[in-house]
Amino acid sequence: MPVASADARGDGPPPAVAKARPLPYVQRMSLRPILLHPDPRLRTAARPVGAIDDSLRRLADDMLETMYDAPGIGLAAPQVGQLVRLIVMDCVKAEDEAPRPMVLVNPEITWTSDETGVYEEGCLSIPEHYAEVTRPAEVAVRWTALDGSAQEERFAGLWATCVQHEIDHLDGRLFIDHISAVRRGMITRKMEKLKRDRARGIERA
C-alpha cells in the first residue's frame, strides 16, 4: 500500500511520510522488484509459512527495505513474487515519531467491528491509481512473529485498513476488487498499457 493512499476519508492532503527509514536491526537488505497488475502471481492464494528460517527473515528484511523505498506503508510477499503468507507494514506517518516496522507471518483476522471506515486506497502493484474502499474500522489480527512467538493485536484506523489490504494480497485479492467492475476494468487496461510501455522502453535501452 503506498503512502499517498493514507489520506483517510479525504480529510486532508496525503501525509508526508519519510522515504526509506533506517532499520538498525536489519543488515544486508536489498530491494526486490514489485510485481505490477495484471500478473497471475497477484491472483494466487499464498501458502502458509511452515518453518521460520533465515531465508524467511531475509525476505522480511528485503520487503521492509522495498516498502520504505517505494515509499509505502505495507507490502505482501506475493507482490515481490513470493507466494507465502507474510506481510510487512509501518503506518507511522509523523516524521517526529519512531518508525514501527511490523512483520506478520501467517496473519489471520479473528474479529472485525460492525463499524466501517472509508479510506482512499492505492497499491504498490497498481501505481498511480486510487479508489475509496469501505472496510471494517477495527480488526483483531493473530500472527506469528519472526522469533516464533504468537502475537495478537487490535488495529484501528489506517492500521486496520493497511493490514486488511495486505492480507487480501495473501488471498489473491486486490483493492480494485472492492470497486465497480467498470472502474476495475478501466484500471486494468491502463495497467496493461503501462506494462507494455515499460517493456518497449526496456527493449529500446
> What's the CA gap between 118 and 125, in Å, rounded?
21
The pLDDT value recorded for residue 7 is: 53
* pTM reported for the whole predicted model: 0.88
Looking at residue 64, its amino acid is L
List the catalytic residues.
Answer: 166
* Residues whose CB is less than 8 angstroms from the CB of residue 60 and which lie 6 or more positions away in sequence, other chains included: 86, 88, 103, 146
**Mean pLDDT within 164-168:** 98
Query: Which one-letter amino acid corresponds to residue 140?
Result: A
Q: Residue 202: what pLDDT? A: 61
- Report the number of distinct structural domains present in the chain: 1
Predicted confidence band of residue 10 (pLDDT cuts 50, 70, 90):
very low
114-139 pLDDT, tens digit each: 999 999 999 999 999 999 999 999 99
DSSP for 122-179? EETTEEEEEEEEEEESEEEEEEE-TTS-EEEEEEEHHHHHHHHHHHHHHTT--GGGGS
Of residues 60, 138, 67, the one with CA closest to residue 106: 60
Tell me the pLDDT tens digit for each residue of 62-96.
Answer: 999 999 999 999 999 999 999 999 999 999 988 89
- The neighbouring-strand residues paired with 78 are none
What CATH code is carried by the domain that includes residue 7?
3.90.45.10
Q: With 0-12 CB in 10 A as exposed, 13-18 as middle and 19+ as buried, what is 152?
A: exposed
- Count CA within 13 A, CB hemisphere, residue 190: 13
Structural domain boundaries, residue 64: 3-204
Residue 14, phi then psi, degrees to nearest 5:
-55, 140
Q: Single out the residue of 11, 10, 30 nearest to residue 20, CA to CA.
A: 30
Sequence letter at residue 104 = L
DSSP H stretches of helix in the chain? 54-69, 157-170, 181-204
Q: Which three cell numbers stand for residue 184?
A: 476495475
Cβ–Cβ < 8 Å for 174, 42: yes
